[in-house]
Structure 1
Amino acid sequence: MTERTVLCVDTADDIETISAAVSGEESLTPVEATSVTQATETVESESVDCVVTEYDLEDGSGLEIVEALREEQPQTPVVLFTGARPGEIDTASFEEMVVEYLNRDLPDAADRLGFVVDDVITHSAQVGFLAPDDEGSRLEALAEYDVDGMPIEESFSRLTDLIASHFDAAVAFIGLIEEEKEDFLACTGADWDSLTREDTICTHSMLQEDVMVVEDINEDKRFANNDKLHNLDIVSYAGANMTTDDGQIIGQVCLIDHEPRQYDESQKQDLQDFADTAMEILDLRQQLLDAKRTEVDA
């Protein structure tokens, strides 16, 4: 069973109650903080799977911790374990965050806390992933490519073979990022068909303009606890955007290794050039397909 780290935040007098309730669940390991400052430092330096916090703290409010999470670990869920009433809480601050409320004054609140935390972590992992602000337009741009109708597999397989050889990488793949998953059009070095958006690193890479490199996922709080990545033996990652002429990012060309790895600026540029080539091949194939259909219609 995967161990899940839970940051427990409360006053010095009450922290033991939260910590004990969390540790009662076999899969949960509590890490304690007794102030907003200490909790904020923790989320900035360590990967956590959930935060359980009192709303009213001696040096501020649980909202400040939520704000720090939004910047550092936006997919991490929060459980407000507090006597403060919902009407007293600025719920607008929780926008785009998974937040559960549990009134600590209820008779069985402490007994239920561990279950609630475990459940909200599982729920967050199932439904949460980052998406660009123009996701609707991006998906419309992707839909303009009839990948199933074009004979592209062999061309892309040759390209991923070349990419893997050029970088001496364990795995090279070309993927298109659909609404809920990333489909791999070609993959050299592994037999991967797709990954869900919440599991693939490309969900994060596509939000970055330049080539994204993760030298070691174990050292990156966004991915350190991603069981799917560990099961695939993914340790290092580099990804470059496939961008349409209209500026929509529809896919990625990526490198995977099973050990930590760095990439210099020249190598990053090479990877981007390969991604641009993949996009050009996709555009050309779509143009040929459109021309063929026009001839048939005529």
Structure 2
Amino acid sequence: MEVVDAIRQEAPQTPCILFTDVPPTEIDTASFGDVIVEYLSRDHPDAHDRLGFIAEDVLNHAAQVGFLAPDDEPERLSALAEYDADTLPIEDSFDRLTDLIASHFDAGVAFIGLIESEEEQILSCHGADLDSVTREETMCTHSMLQEDVMVVQDVREDKRFSEIGAYEAMGIRSYAGANMTTPDGHVIGQVCLIDFEPRDYDATERGELQDFAETAMEILGPQEVRDAAAESTEVLA
């Protein structure tokens, strides 16, 4: 359990399978909550085969057993709350921005989302009808943990996402996501591209997507900054 605790310091939602000959009544797992996926006795018939099956299932359905959260999650959520996006007159500006992003990259879908405690709230989406996505299912849960733009060239070839039925139903094959970061360094959202065929993005394109994410943050900022950002998107459009 000390090993589990050490791992969770780096990745709080890492699932754990207890494979041991110690009876469960003698193990204090209360503080680990739902992170313990299953207890498996080493004395059980075919224990090793069962362990292999459970481990493979966890790997293939990792998004369904929890989601990874950044180390600054409490502070990040506090920073997000300060923006109070629901009360800001930003819908038209974000709609212009996602239209521009989709056109610039010739992508099927472009969207802007804020990552809340349990779901990603989609503020604007070009090319699809998206309102919100659970953090277990959104690729942005993984993208927000990376400093640079995250690109998934082929969703079907990535074990993190290949078994998520919603992606298959929508025909999603590729993804790119850039962080929306506050001045204090907290990632509160993502600007993303989705396409319906495998696709990569070169260094220039990744840099441009990050620039769009910074523009989205400017729109969320003080009124005078929002006005300037709105004017710039109109000129670019």
Instruction: Select the residue among 181, 185, 189 that pairs with 2:119.
Output: 181
- Out of 146-155 and 182-191, give the one that drifted further: 146-155
Of residues 56, 71, 75, the one that matches 1:137 is 75
Residue 171 of structure 2 corresponds to which residue in structure 1?
233
Looking at structure 2, the residues matched to 173 and 188 of structure 1 have their Cα atoms a distance apart, in angstroms, of: 6
For residues 213 and 96 of structure 1, what CA distance do their matches in structure 2 show? 30
1:260 matched to 2:224? The reply is: no
Counterpart selection for 1:78 from 5, 17, 21: 17
Which ranges in structure 2 are unaligned for 5 or more consecutive residues? 227-237
Change (3 A) 1:79 1:254: same
Aligned equivalents of 2:41, 2:224: Cα separation in 1: 56
Quick one: which amino acid aligns to residue 115 of structure 2? I
Q: Is the 8 A contact 1:176 1:184 kept in 2?
A: yes
Seen in structure 2, the aligned counterparts of structure 1 residues 169 and 125 have a Cα distance that, compared at 3 Å, is closer
Tell me which of 76, 79, 88 is aligned to 1:150.
Answer: 88
Q: Whole-Å Cα distance in 2 between the matches of residues 78 and 271 of structure 1?
A: 39
Distance 1:95 1:209 in 2: 29
Identity of aligned residues (%): 62
Match of 1:201 among 139, 156, 172: 139
Matched, 1:250 2:188: yes
Aligned: 1:211 with 2:149: yes
> Which SS does the other structure have where 2:129 is aligned?
coil
> 1:123 deviation in Å?
9.9
Q: What residue number does 1:277 align with?
A: 215
Deviation at 1:136, TM superposition (A): 0.1
Distance 1:106 1:286 in 2: 66
Shift of 1:86: 5.5
RMSD: 3.8
- Correspondence for 1:191: 129
Check the 8 A contact 1:146/1:286 in 2, yes or no.
Answer: no
Say if 2:16 and 2:36, in contact at 8 Å, map to a contact too.
yes
Bigger CA radius of gyration: 1
Deviation at 1:126, TM superposition (A): 4.6
Tell me the SS of whatever aligns to 2:201: coil
Partner of 1:160: 98
CA distance in 2, matches of 1:286, 1:203: 31
SS in 1 for 2:39: strand
Aligned to 1:52: none
Give, in angstroms, the shift of residue 102 of structure 1.
2.8
In structure 1, the partner of 2:107 is 169
Q: TM-score, normalised by structure 1?
A: 0.61
TM-score between the two structures when normalised by the length of structure 2: 0.76
Matching of residues 121-136 of structure 1 within 5 Å: 125-136=63-74
- On the 8 A contact 1:145/1:286 being kept in 2, the answer is no
Contact 2:107/2:195 (<8 A) preserved: yes
> Deviations 1:21-75 (Å, cap 9, x if unpaired)?
xxxxxxxxxxxxxxxxxxxxxxxxxxxxxxxxxxxxxxxxxx9xxx8xxx9xx85
